[in-house]
Structure 1
């Protein structure tokens, strides 16, 4: 057994932000566990940038309005304000610590614009390599201060007397290690890997959601899954994400005839919220139309977007034609493990931060480039809260011993089968009949019973599939429960009504009326 003050599960930006802050305090013994290697995270893949109201003509109130509008007015107003109001100061601190964002020839920060933003407030680093640049910066900051243990897939959270006191991890040789901890922080990302086409790293399959559910934590809003409108896709194969920043620079969505498809769909046309754009592309494709991004108006595309250019080269797409074939792909989970503003879950000692957490800041549809901001802001707040509590409480809890038991071989499907079911029945468009088919298919594998079996008897591969089945079942049952269409959750049998909230609604109405009621569908954990 390995004993630590803090165990962080995951190695994305939220995890590194927490670790960096905690490492400033000598009394904090912190370890990061990651199931593959430390470079496998969605944060590394982030192209678009970070949204923050740093420009003179912008302010946090405007950023708040855009975030609420994109979230279809069911965001948590308090945590949303925390995100956008505290965000600029945290970004400025990173800059003073040495993080470099893209600037113009005069050395002033460059601000881009993306979907549903009414101001240019997106900071980039290295063009479309923002996530990679920030992650390397953060890795350098925690080097020699925080241990990162790779090939450690956390397969169980250990709960004693209502308090999370550690984790069990499994490596590629199926060897299990128990880590005792005063606090455990989930920073495992979302669940994009439950679908056939996704922008997510292949390791992101919803483990954290399943772990939290099994530990008894409350979950919320799992039906809200954002499909990014523009994945570079050729012959049914996805080669990578084409950042929304491309449309922010003027690119338009067109069909094979060159006709723009978004102008009559939404007031913001090509820069409409992602759920709106994704559904329109999906509809066009169902009608047999291939959709392209027309980039012909963007000068020096390869210089501005080197990552996307490399994707095009791998897919044998010549960017000189000015057209990039695109299709929607699973991108971001707005819901997750329900937390307060400092990351605390309903289980004592268990925190969640980043995409795996549901603070309510994203509502039904995340605003572009708010995800990296979320990891930085709430990563700091989680760390601050843990430091504060550590100074007030020195209680040490004993970790219970795991006693392996004999079980019969478990029946599990392949990962690809799960992805096919979820894509077909719980993807961009959903119906009661389709969701019921998915639920029955998932339940044939005894999802709940598999959760109760002892993890010491399972291989790393088996546990990942069990986690996928569990999270898929939770998503499907959540989607069944929400009998309306809103944001990333679209029910063909409950289409948007006349009261759909558009982007010209006022912030006063948002606060006093639309945000007065919580629309969150919460699910209690299994313990």
Structure 2
């Protein structure tokens, strides 16, 4: 697991890693480093990503002078909370569903439209479906079905898999809630994957800028392949021999902290329905966690807290709703804010968000 980067003479020349098996930290020398550790989904308790995907590379890159972009745009998708949690909900089944809180004469049309894409988008009318699901809270919104005699193949495959895996059909009814999924934002890079920090490159979901505010249908794998290839070639061209230590350096303190409080708070304040009050409350929670971790000394917790703070900073700064970002207190798009927000660290080491100059 990534802990930090190694710098010498203003150039990244290696990485500090935590060996999970041995519990030791190691310094690995490198002529250049490519960060490809994924997005921010693991900062949330309800997530459809692996829990260790916590924006570590974003925090580490920030500390070494890189910048982030579009980090407020976290893809949010419906997932199951009953009969089992942490399983993706097949959005195509919305077309045959009745969803708690989605009522009125337009309910059928909204659910049919919502069945056309997986991630939530505040820019589409069918956001009403996700807002109703979010309003149900952690218990989830009840979903029941009026199914045709013959299901489309993709849905039938999902229903068959579900019944085989969990011993019952979703046709018997499920509950769903919003889950964090992929990240549209991340480390700001150029077309070659360079972060602007000498010797440091990034690619894949660790980076931002390729998708803008919304990505409701694919291209994540294409992004990873194209920019992974570009970053790898550029890093290889950049690489040069460096004098960096390489070997065991002891056990990092509290390498696997309990981050449950952080994740649950991120669920509450940073999924759908963000508000100024809620985001500022999240900031205070991060302050408290920072104070506790100052005594515990966990580098993993410090990275998670900084990543979460970067997200909250951007979410607060974007006082509108656009794409994957929905502010309940600013529910409409503002044409004046149709530009990216770039996050960097101020002199005190805290994230600040600003619009880059033209």
Q: Which residue of structure 1 lines up, in the alignment, with residue 7 of structure 2? A: 159
Matched-pair contact (CA < 8 Å) for 1:199–1:331: yes
Cα distance in structure 2, aligned partners of 1:317 and 1:302: 19
Cα distance in structure 1, aligned partners of 2:102 and 2:178: 19
Q: Give the alignment's TM-score, normalised by structure 2.
A: 0.79
Cα distance in structure 2, aligned partners of 1:160 and 1:449: 28
**Cα distance, 1:519 vs structure 2:** 2.6
**Cα distance, 1:251 vs structure 2:** 4.0
Q: Which residue of structure 2 lines up, in the alignment, with residue 231 of structure 1? A: 79
**Cα distance, 1:398 vs structure 2:** 2.2
Q: Which residue of structure 2 lines up, in the alignment, with residue 399 of structure 1? A: 244
Cα distance in structure 2, aligned partners of 1:318 and 1:519: 43
Give 1:242's match in structure 2, choosing from 77, 89, 100.
Answer: 89
Matched-pair contact (CA < 8 Å) for 2:41–2:48: yes
Give 1:170's match in structure 2, choosing from 4, 9, 18.
Answer: 18
Cα distance in structure 2, aligned partners of 1:298 and 1:197: 33
Name the Cα RMSD after superposition.
4.0
**Cα distance, 1:258 vs structure 2:** 9.7
Pair 1:440 & 2:284 matched:
yes
**Cα distance, 1:477 vs structure 2:** 1.4
Cα distance in structure 2, aligned partners of 1:297 and 1:439: 48
Q: Which residue of structure 1 lines up, in the alignment, with residue 121 of structure 2? A: 275
Q: Give the alignment's TM-score, normalised by structure 1.
A: 0.56
Give 2:305's match in structure 1, choosing from 440, 452, 469.
Answer: 469
Cα distance in structure 2, aligned partners of 1:335 and 1:256: 31
Query: Cα deviations across residues 71-107 of structure 1 (Å, max 9, x unaligned)?
Result: xxxxxxxxxxxxxxxxxxxxxxxxxxxxxxxxxxxxx
1:414-453 aligned within 5 A? 414-446=258-290
**Cα distance, 1:400 vs structure 2:** 6.5
Structure 1 residues 209, 285: CA separation in 2 closer, same or farther (over 3 Å shift)? closer
Matched-pair contact (CA < 8 Å) for 1:184–1:350: yes
Classify the secondary structure of the residue corresponding to 2:2: strand
Pair 1:386 & 2:227 matched:
no
Structure 1 residues 257, 219: CA separation in 2 closer, same or farther (over 3 Å shift)? closer
Count of aligned pairs:
340
Structure 2: unaligned runs, 5 residues or longer: 351-358
Matched-pair contact (CA < 8 Å) for 1:309–1:319: no
Classify the secondary structure of the residue corresponding to 2:321: coil
Cα distance in structure 2, aligned partners of 1:258 and 1:491: 20
**Cα distance, 1:484 vs structure 2:** 1.5
Q: Which residue of structure 2 lines up, in the alignment, with residue 348 of structure 1? A: 198
Q: Which residue of structure 1 lines up, in the alignment, with residue 212 of structure 2? A: 363
Q: Which residue of structure 1 lines up, in the alignment, with residue 29 of structure 2? A: 180
Matched-pair contact (CA < 8 Å) for 1:241–1:308: no
Q: Which residue of structure 1 lines up, in the alignment, with residue 189 of structure 2? A: 339
Q: Which residue of structure 2 lines up, in the alignment, with residue 219 of structure 1? A: 68
Cα distance in structure 1, aligned partners of 2:156 and 2:11: 46
Q: Which residue of structure 2 lines up, in the alignment, with residue 296 of structure 1? A: 147
**Cα distance, 1:234 vs structure 2:** 0.5
Matched-pair contact (CA < 8 Å) for 1:302–1:309: no
Q: Which residue of structure 1 lines up, in the alignment, with residue 169 of structure 2? A: 318
Classify the secondary structure of the residue corresponding to 2:72: coil
**Cα distance, 1:211 vs structure 2:** 1.6
1:83-98 aligned within 5 A? none
1:487-498 aligned within 5 A? 487-497=323-333
Q: Which residue of structure 2 lines up, in the alignment, with residue 520 of structure 1? A: 341
